[in-house]
Amino acid sequence: MKFSVEKDHLLKFINIVIRATQSKLTSGGIRSSIKLQLKNDSLRLSASDLDISIETSLDVNGVQDGTVVVPGKVIQDIVRSFKPGSITFNSDADSLFIVNDTVKFEIKVYNNDTFIPIQNIEGKSETLPSIELSKAIFQVGKAASNDEIRPVLTGILLSFNEKKLRLVATDSYRLAIKEIDINNNELNGISVLVPAKALNEVEKIMSAVPEVELINLTVDEGHVKFTIGDTQVITQLINETFPLYEKLIPEDISQKITINKENLEDAIKRMKLFVKDLKSSVLISESENGIKMSASSFDFGSGEEVIDAELTGGELQISFNPNYLLDGIETIEEEETEILISTPKKPVLIKALSSDQFKYILMPITVA
């Protein structure tokens, strides 16, 4: 195999596929390798760690077709270290030689048969708006769990219905729901549970290629594939039943706080300086001019802040984990936010004042 390519152009695509490797394994291994496959002037890069697979392609100046498998982190670090300009790649049966100006590297290559085959996905497909999907993943993904003991909570539910796509995630302490409009719905009535880790990588790739306005999603019995321009991301679905979350959405509202999102966000950041463990919380109570937020720590002291807000429903005393509360407030896109409360011991609903497309349901903390 032999080709040449501009350093920055190649590095952009290496940075995409490296997301599907266990990059800490710098010494190599099948889960940390990248396959380079040259045909004419097209270079295809592939990587897989069994959980997620990514393939992408770019134009190069091809000289001789061929395929090599190399350590992903090693080639990323080498290409990143070069000065801007053209890089030449040339391989034989044992090594890949990389030359940039006066610098030359030799990388030992793996047997091509050691590379993990990437699943071919064929099934029902849907075209989705890239910007809206990227925002939805960012908003909802924060509520997914990182605890592998309960795999069902590490996923994001994608539910298709009536020209809408609903994304749902929960870690049992909070629940996030986002709906986006889609033009068609070939997947109408279908729900799939996708690992949040994989969707987060999809979101990062979409952010890296903002020129791609539409992406394609394909689902089969056990996998989902996202096609983003020349890049494909494939991951296994989580084969578990997602919790019945609809009953957690508050309906009987007794109190409502309407508040400026930025003011509330800033106050939470200040008060959380005094919250040093999971058992501590920030307290929201009524104030003459709106609401008061307070927090205290036996070791560090206390703080309180009065924030302009409109409060309906009388006296208020409710506590939250400040990190979880901030996650919900930060992802709201409008200036005015609503916090809808049924009782101080039941989940509250946080959303934009003028839109129901994003809902963040958070369980209060019971304070003795």
The DSSP bridge partners found for residue 191 are 159
For residue 183, what pLDDT band results from cuts at 50, 70 and 90?
confident
**160, 79: one domain:** no
Kindly state the average pLDDT of the residues 243-262: 93
Instruction: Please report which confidence band the pLDDT of residue 228 belongs to, taking 50, 70 and 90 as the band edges.
Output: very high
Q: Is the pLDDT of residue 298 over 90?
A: no
Backbone angles phi and psi of 320, in degrees to 5: -140, 155
**pLDDT level of residue 118 (50, 70, 90 thresholds):** confident
Residues 209 and 277 placed together within one structural domain of the fold: no
Here the CATH number for the domain that contains residue 327 is: 3.10.150.10
Predicted local distance difference test score (pLDDT) of residue 330: 94
**How many helices, marked H, and strands, marked E, lie in the chain?**
6, 25
Give the per-residue pLDDT at 368.
56
Beta bridge partners of 204: none
219 Cβ neighbours under 8 A, 6+ residues apart: 121, 123, 124, 125, 187, 190, 192, 225, 237
Do 215 and 280 belong together in one domain? no
On the question of pLDDT at 114 being above 60, the answer is: yes
Indicate if the alpha-carbon torsion angle 99, 100, 103, 109 is positive or negative.
negative
pTM of structure: 0.91
At residue 277, does pLDDT exceed 80?
A: no
- State both tokens at 259: 């508040």
Give the pLDDT score at 26. Answer: 44
pLDDT recorded at residue 302: 87
pLDDT at 2 over 50: yes
Q: Is the Cβ–Cβ distance between 177 and 143 less than 8 Å?
A: no
Are residues 193 and 100 both part of a single domain? no
Residues 358 and 253 occupy one common structural domain:
yes
Identify the domain boundary among 211, 236, 261.
236
Q: Is residue 244 part of a domain?
A: no
Q: What angle do CA 111, 115, 121 make, to 5 degrees?
A: 150
Q: Is the pLDDT of residue 224 over 80?
A: yes
**pLDDT surpasses 70 at 256:** yes
- What mean pLDDT, rounded, does the chain reach? 91
Structural domains of the chain, count: 3
Q: Torsions phi, psi of 218, nearest 5?
A: -125, 135
| Residues 131, 217 share a domain | yes
If pLDDT is split at 50, 70 and 90, which confidence band does 122 have? confident
Cβ distance 219 to 192 under 8 Å?
Answer: yes
- How far apart are alpha carbons 67 and 76 in whole angstroms? 17
- Residue 27: which pLDDT band, with cuts at 50, 70 and 90? very low
* Domain range for 12: 2-114
Return the amino acid letter for 134.
S
Q: So what's the pLDDT on residue 25?
A: 46
pLDDT, residue 282, reads: 94
Partnered with residue 306 across adjacent β-strands are 292
Is residue 202 within 8 Å of residue 137, measured between CB atoms?
yes
pLDDT band for 279, please (50, 70, 90 cuts). Answer: low
Q: Are residues 105 and 129 in the same domain?
A: no
- Extract the tokens encoding 295: 């927090």
Domain assignment present for residue 367? The answer is no
Backbone phi, then psi, for 241, in 5-degree steps? -90, 125
DSSP at 356: -
329 SS3 class = helix
Task: Identify whether 138 is part of a domain.
Answer: yes
**Rounded CA separation 18/204 (Å):** 12
